[in-house]
A and B are shown apart, each in its own frame.
Chain A
Amino acid sequence: MSEVTKKRRPVKRWIVLALIAAGIYCAYFGPSILKPVSPTVVLPAEPIWPGVWFTNTMLATIIADILLILLAIGAFRFSKSDNLVPKGMYNAFEAIVEYLWNSVEGTTGKWARRIIPLVGTIFLLVFMVNMVKMVPGFESIGYLEAPHKTGLAWGTVKLFSIGSLPVYAIDPAQEIVYVSHEGEEAGTESHAEESHELCEACQVIPFLRGSATDLNFPLALAVIAVLMTQVFGVWAVGPGYFSKFLPVGRLVNGGIFGIIDFAVGFLELILEFAKILSFSFRLFGNIFAGVLLLSIVGALLPVVIPPGLYLFEVFFGIIQAYVFFLLATMFISMALVHHGGEQSQEHH
């Protein structure tokens, strides 16, 4: 076994060196279509084909979902088999689930069995989505379209065609500053939709884009997490849970402090919405900034830095999934506690 690794190690080193040499060739010496392109930053998700409502981030989310379901089926089948020693993917799954379980049980105790399906799913989905977005082809393969706004666009070079479908590459050497004319815009757009070959200044609209780079994905998760916090609160405390937000009882017999408590309850209500905001913007901001950093630094210094940044992105994907999971668990565990009305300080 050790002999094999000894033999293989130098080969791997040569592969890495060859890849670096290939990268230097592509970035600095090769033909211009191989050169890195400074990206056009687009905030909203784009449709996967002109005129379709289905966006590229939704497609990426569905791919992550399918992968996650396949992994779960594999893990389930492994757990049903006679193998007692976990190995491979199942081992990783078991480690993750065990870690999540310990973490949830540590904060919520006997409620952990009811809470872990929600927060565990959120963790696994965010984790998987953040890992899937690192696959090459994301944000780089797509259809060509004339830009809608003033900005940079590029000329195209035809590479080859699969059947009757021509494949183009954008050429960084033919950089065109596209200036949009308000009146003309509709005309160019429909023109580009009719035949994509005819846009002389093109942008790539990718088929796949990291799900969390669209605000809708983290926002949906945040809304689910915060709504479920209320559900768990009512489940644990009963209808009296809402006295946290509207402490009417304190207002009646609490005197001057009752009024203060009432105001604090109103603040709690606002804090619930602030939770949604901070949940969604945290995930979105981190992932979007990561993508921006990767593409911009990748265009400036294409050879040495990006692998390190990719490692950083993997780390951040895990951390963000963990933070989302941890905060959801914490908020739910806070909601589980009966709110007596005397100490209504919840640090945020």
Chain B
Amino acid sequence: MNDPTAFVAAFRLLGAGLAMLGAIGAGVGVGIAASGGVQAMGRNPDAAPIIQTNMILGMAFAEAVAIYALAVALIIIFAA
């Protein structure tokens, strides 16, 4: 407690961990996209290629949020 550098380092790690909470939403979003995509492919297997393309696109956008969280966490640990 008497060492301010250690204190700051500890809170930096804590902050990085908290930043990664953003991955929760991305995980839910990717799961929903996959579930919808698989259901659609099950209903209409002929349209599978188009559905798959759009599903991967949507997953990429949902995943971007987690990537932003990761970038923030990395910046907190290494750059700030």
Contacts and interface: CB of A to CB of B under 8 A. Distances in A.
Given A330-B57, A348-B61, A289 B79 contact: no
Interface string B31-58: 0000000000000000001100100110
B60 interface: yes
Q: Chain A contact residues: over half helix, strand or loop, or mixed?
A: helix
Size class of A's contact patch?
10 to 19
A258 interface: no
Contacts of A43: 74, 78-79
Interface string B55-69: 011001101101110
B70 interface: yes
Interface in A274-304: 278, 281-282, 284-286, 288-289
B14 interface: no
B71 A281 contact: yes
A326 B68 contact: no
A281 B67 contact: yes
Given A43-B78, A43-B79, A327 B71 contact: no
A285 B70 contact: yes
Interface residues of B, number: 17
A103 B61 contact: no
Given A43-B79, A288-B74, A281 B68 contact: yes
Contacts of B70: 281, 285, 288-289
A249 B49 CA distance: 40
Contact of A282 (B49, B63, B74): B63
Contacts of B53: 103, 106, 326
A285 B67 contact: yes
Interface in A291-348: 319, 322-323, 326-327, 330, 348
A44 B74 CA distance: 11
Contacts of A286: 67
Nearest to A327: B60
Nearest to B67: A285
Contact of A327 (B57, B68, B78): B57
Nearest to B49: A106
Contacts of A289: 70
A286 B63 CA distance: 10
A285 B57 contact: no
Interface in B5-24: none
Contacts of A327: 57, 60
Nearest to B79: A43
Given A43-B74, A43-B79, A326 B57 contact: yes
A348 B61 CA distance: 7
Contacts of A278: 64, 67-68
Contacts of B67: 278, 281-282, 285-286
A99 B77 CA distance: 40
Contacts of A288: 70, 74
A106 B50 CA distance: 9
A278 B68 CA distance: 8
Contacts of A285: 66-67, 70-71, 74
Interface string A137-169: 000000000000000000000000000000000
Given A281-B64, A288-B70, 18 more contacts: A41-B78, A43-B79, A103-B53, A106-B49, A106-B50, A278-B64, A281-B67, A282-B63, A284-B71, A285-B70, A286-B67, A288-B74, A289-B70, A322-B56, A323-B57, A326-B60, A327-B60, A330-B57
Ranked 9 nearest A-B pairs via Cβ: A285-B67, A43-B78, A323-B60, A285-B70, A278-B64, A281-B71, A282-B67, A281-B67, A282-B64
13 contacts: A41-B78, A43-B79, A106-B49, A278-B67, A281-B67, A281-B68, A282-B63, A285-B70, A285-B71, A288-B74, A289-B70, A326-B53, A348-B61
Interface of A: 41, 43, 103, 106, 278, 281-282, 284-286, 288-289, 319, 322-323, 326-327, 330, 348
